[in-house]
Structure 1
């Protein structure tokens, strides 16, 4: 169980390290896909520019709000677990001490040393020790974390979305479709490679997934615009 928690903790850490790039990629893909749909429908420069700006703002706020809700829910779950552990410790302190000692014994300590470690941890922070051993929670998420996570996600999304927005502003409608495609491919490649390096993930697999999703989204959106409008 301890090895599973350790593996899960490392995976979560890697995902969080690369989440900014994923959020930026979402901004690139969502905005570019919407623009391709409008371009396929024959929209002019002003409508495309308005659409790109609206997609950047609405998408950023939506993504940030979703991330805030997600982290807030995680924190609430951690607080509920902490309350449960606190209640169990108050009800049966010796039993919880024995349970913690068993955990450390399973990690390779001798029964005597495991009992001593458990006693010291319970004396220092009983609830924290139980949360770490039973649920893999080293520290309860800070109250400000949901807000910061939401702001970071919104900013990352808008930075990604700004790429097709800028192209829409600078390029005439006759060439901006291809310019957006090229810019999206380059941007997704850069963010995917950087994220793969930071998260120690496979750069090739991450790049392929990003390009498939990005180009597929734009292709489907453009085709929908051509066929239905």
Structure 2
């Protein structure tokens, strides 16, 4: 009779993608919507092509830096909280090891283990790595969900730049009289693709994912176009 081998980590769970997917989707969506809307406002105000491109480029650089800074500060704050909690837990384990072991066993009892088995599991896990056991089972900190500030910052900035580069490239390639329609068309197509891809990657409904980003993108473009149109009329 052959010996069967099992891959205990064979599944590819979608939660493993959450940290980078959130930053990438948010960054690309913000890049497309904000820079497209900014450029449409200038186009509607009858600005010349050089001014429109300059506005888009400025929006790209400022937005990418803002996204990076915002993500870094936010995720670093989360990391600081995690480290503070781990420091407290490490101190408690060193101070009162047996109490912490009983606390861990009580957690396993609440999850359905018998008291005897819970004591055994807590004893063996505490013997190997007590802080890791408490971090996972008491604090809910897992390696795949740990805060990574630099990764989040770079992902957001890069994704924003890619998204913002689409309307900017459109403005560089199209003649002036096609800019308004071209930027709108490119933005809507990009938002549909982005929303669908994000939903598919996360295992959600593709139609709902696309419609969410599409509606908000349309509202943003409409608002800035109206402001640019009014500004152009008043300036004239």
**TM-score scaled to structure 2, two decimals?**
0.86
Consecutive unaligned residues of structure 1, counting only runs of 5 or more, are 1-9
Look up the match of 1:226.
229
Structure number having the greater helix percentage: 1
Alignment of 1:162-173 (within 5 A): 162-173=165-176
Q: Distance in 2 between matches of 1:205 and 1:51?
A: 32
Q: Give the greater-gyration-radius structure (CA).
A: 2
SS in 2 for 1:226: helix
Deviation at 1:76, TM superposition (A): 0.7
Q: Tell me the alpha carbon deviations over residues 88-109 of structure 1, each in whole angstroms, 9 at most, x when there is no partner.
A: 2223222211110011122222
Q: Which residue of 2 aligns with 1:80?
A: 84
Shift of 1:16: 4.3
Distance 2:16 2:110 in 1: 24
Distance 1:113 1:172 in 2: 73
In 1: Cα distance, 2:89 partner to 2:19 partner: 28
Root-mean-square deviation over aligned CA pairs: 2.0
The gaps in structure 2 that reach 5 residues or longer are 1-13
1:114 Cα deviation (Å)?
Answer: 0.8
* Structure 1 runs of 4+ with >4 Å offset: 10-13
The answer to whether structure 1 residue 25 and structure 2 residue 26 are counterparts is no
Q: Which range moves more in the overlay, 132-141 or 37-46?
A: 132-141
Q: Which moved more, 1:14-23 or 1:105-114?
A: 14-23
SS of the aligned residue for 1:43 comes to: coil
Equivalent-residue separation in structure 2 for 1:12 and 1:36 (angstroms): 37
Match of 2:194? 191
Cα offset, 1:203, TM superposition: 1.4
| Corresponding residue of 2:207 | 204
Q: Confirm or deny that 1:45 pairs with 2:49.
A: yes
Distance 1:177 1:107 in 2: 59
**Structure 1 partner of 2:3:** none
Q: Does 1:128 align with 2:132?
A: yes
The structure-2 alpha-carbon separation of the partners of 1:87 and 1:61, relative to structure 1 and needing over 3 Å to count, comes to same
In the other structure, the counterpart of 1:147 is 150
Count of paired positions: 219
SS in 2 for 1:159: helix
Q: Which residue of 1 aligns with 2:179?
A: 176
On the 8 A contact 2:64/2:161 being kept in 1, the answer is yes
Question: Is the 1:18–1:196 Cα contact (8 Å) retained in structure 2?
Answer: no
Q: Contact 1:60/1:154 (CA < 8 Å) preserved in 2?
A: yes
Hey, what's the Cα distance between the residues in 2 that align with 1:103 and 1:154? 40
Distance 2:127 2:146 in 1: 22
Whether the 8 Å CA contact 1:36–1:222 is kept in 2: the answer is yes
Give the superposition deviation at 1:50: 0.6
